[in-house]
Amino acid sequence: MTSGELADATIVFDLDGTLVDTAPDLVRALNHTMDLEGLPHMRIEVARRFVGQGARVLIERSAALAGVTFRPERLSELTEAYIAAYRADICQHSRPFEGVPDALDALSALGAKLAVCTNKRTDLSVQLLEALGLAERFSAIVGADAVSDRKPHPDHFRAAVTRTGGVVRRSVMVGDTTADVAAARGAGAPVAVVRFGYCDDDAEKLGADVLIDHYADLTPVCRRLLAARP
């Protein structure tokens, strides 16, 4: 049986922009997809704001900046092309944010279970985390395709917690977007937002319980948030 101060706790992480800086590879695949339609390439600083709702929405929003709207059938085709390009070299430029491995180790040492709750597909999430040597640290990796309702729906967050064997009242969400905050809030869990992620709004306005500047801050933040809960 797991022991430690956080033995009954589950810490749930978003993936893109929270655990891993994936924007360079996401934009690489996105611009390959834009080439198929003769559309302008997206700059990474713009595309970062569109990450968090999955590949289809990323393509849709990027094309809209050029005044283009795709038929649903074509959007589906382009999404598959994007995924193929992304999967082919999923970790060319992607790296964990500074301090991630140490923070995961620290939380595990206190007994916490760790999960990933992402709007990325589960197979791509597992592939990425395996390539980075991080997958085995998580008891559950729950992508958008693994649930009926993805983030911002709270059931996505709940599924990530329960699949670790945890309970929502002893959980914390760590994310970077409005979808992460809404999912945690809807489930009744506290949420910490990383300032350095792919925030789709001003981080100060997302309504998080805590804002984090570095992963060295995460363990004491989780301990404090959980200590305030029964």
- Is the pLDDT assigned to residue 45 strictly greater than 90? no
Residue 1 has pLDDT above 50, yes or no: no
**Average predicted confidence (pLDDT) for the chain:** 94
pLDDT reported for residue 54: 75
Residues 48 and 112 occupy one common structural domain = no
pLDDT score of 200: 65
pLDDT in tens, 59-101: 999 999 999 999 999 999 999 999 999 999 999 999 999 999 9
- Asked if the structure places residue 156 within a domain, the reply is yes
Of 42, 68, 88, the last residue of a domain is 88
Give yes or no: residues 183 and 194 share one domain: yes
- Number of structural domains (the chain) is 2
Q: What's 75's domain CATH number?
A: 1.10.150.240
Given the residues 14, 16, 176, 200, select the one marked as catalytic: 14
pLDDT at 98: 97
Residues 114 and 73 in one domain: no
Distance between CA atoms of residues 225 and 227, nearest Å: 6
Write the DSSP string, 16-31. Answer: BTTTEE-HHHHHHHHH
Model pTM score: 0.92
**pLDDT value of position 46:** 83
- Mean pLDDT, residues 17-46: 93
The CATH number of the domain holding residue 201 is 3.40.50.1000
CB contact set of 12 (below 8 Å; sequence gap of 6+): 114, 115, 116, 117, 157, 160, 161, 171, 172, 173, 174, 184, 189
Do 219 and 109 have their domain in common?
yes
Percentage of the chain beyond pLDDT 70 is 97
Residues 194 and 111 in one domain: yes
Residue 205: pLDDT above 70?
A: yes
In the chain, pLDDT over 90 holds for what percent of residues? 86
Answer whether residue 142 shows pLDDT above 90: yes
What pLDDT sits at residue 210?
97
pLDDT for position 119: 93
pLDDT tens-digit map of 152-167:
999 999 999 999 999 9
Q: For the beta carbon of residue 152, count every other beta carbon within 10 angstroms.
A: 20
- Which domain does 61 fall in, by range? 23-88
The rounded radius of gyration (Å) of the Cα atoms in the chain is 17
| 14 given a catalytic annotation | yes
**Residue 3 lies inside a defined structural domain of this protein:** no
Residue 54 and residue 122 in one domain: no
Q: Which pLDDT score is estimated for 221?
A: 97
User: In the structure, what pLDDT confidence band is assigned to residue 53 with cuts at 50, 70 and 90?
Assistant: confident
**Nearest residue to 15 (alpha-carbon basis) of 160, 219, 150, 176:** 176
pLDDT tens for each residue of 167-191: 999 999 999 999 999 999 999 999 9
